[in-house]
Amino acid sequence: MQKILILLLLVSGQILSAQNATPRQFTQNNNTWISYAGSHKFAPQWGLHLEAQLRRADWGLDAQQLLLRGGLNYHLNTSTVATAGYCFVETYPYGAFAAKTSFPEHRFWEQIQLRQNNARFELVHRFRLEQRNVHNPVASGTEYKPGPAVYSNRFRLMHRASVPFHGRTIAEKSWYFTAFDEMFVAFGKNVGHNIFDQNRAFAGVGYRFPKVGRLELGYLNQLVFKSDGIRVENNHTLLLAFSSALDLRL
């Protein structure tokens, strides 16, 4: 499935490049992201998804984004979780392709997440749909302000692999290596020139704390294709992420 999607993206990219004679413009940003993600059961099959991300540009000196995501989990079995929820994002002006002013986004999202073990590898596959309402900046006299919501859809596909440095499983008080890649594909009439919205590739190390959760630190490369089909960001990001599956029934 992933190979088919990549092929479609490459073909569509060639078509759009032929239609758009303006050469692409590239820039790079150095960002720092700090995130928390929790999956907390309150019943045998039900739980809460709680997530917050503070994203900073210029190695943390300037605001980039604030993301708050919540949802309701349904555990189909020990390896499969279905989730639906709401997400709020505030984007601030940053970098060479800065927005005219900060603006909000309201989105609803649904996903299926699968976990499996293959020899020493812990694998996670995530399939997510998003319904986005983005209030892009518009001119208001001599200033800019968030405009009316522009609706679009996005599909996200993520694959993650983690492996312990010692032993066969990621046990408590153990270190491990982890890496993932996530592809974003936009669709619908308001998408603009790019259906390939962005790609994120991460590699880092993690530590599993007893009972509490996991802490991961590493490098994230975020490749962002702007909707005008011209501007491209290649963002180098230091990611510090804490995740927890603390049971609320305790």
CA separation (Å) from 248 to 39, 48, 87, 111, 244? Answer: 10, 9, 22, 22, 11
How many structural domains is the chain composed of? 1
In a domain, 124, yes or no: yes
In a domain, 249, yes or no: no
Number of Cβ within a 10 Å radius of residue 29? 20
In a domain, 250, yes or no: no
In a domain, 210, yes or no: yes
CATH code of 169's domain? 2.40.160
pLDDT at 17: 46
Owning domain of residue 58? 2-244
Q: Is the Cβ–Cβ distance between 227 and 191 less than 8 Å?
A: yes
pTM for the whole structure: 0.90
Q: Which pair of structure tokens corresponds to residue 220? A: 């994230």
In a domain, 54, yes or no: yes
d(C-alpha 67, C-alpha 173), whole Å: 30
In a domain, 20, yes or no: yes
**Chain centre to alpha carbon of residue 97:** 20
DSSP for 64-127 reads: EEEEEEEEEEEESSSSEEEEEEEEEEEE---STT--SS-EEEEEEEEEEEEEEEETTEEEEEEE
In a domain, 230, yes or no: yes
In a domain, 180, yes or no: yes
- Please report, in tens digits, the pLDDT of each residue of the chain (250 residues total): 444 444 444 444 444 444 455 788 999 999 999 999 999 999 999 999 999 999 999 999 999 999 999 999 999 999 999 999 999 999 999 999 999 999 999 999 999 999 999 999 999 999 999 999 999 999 998 899 999 999 999 999 999 999 999 999 999 999 999 999 999 999 988 887 778 999 999 999 999 999 999 999 999 999 999 988 899 999 999 999 999 999 998 6
What digits encode the pLDDT tens for the residues 24-80?
899 999 999 999 999 999 999 999 999 999 999 999 999 999 999 999 999 999 999
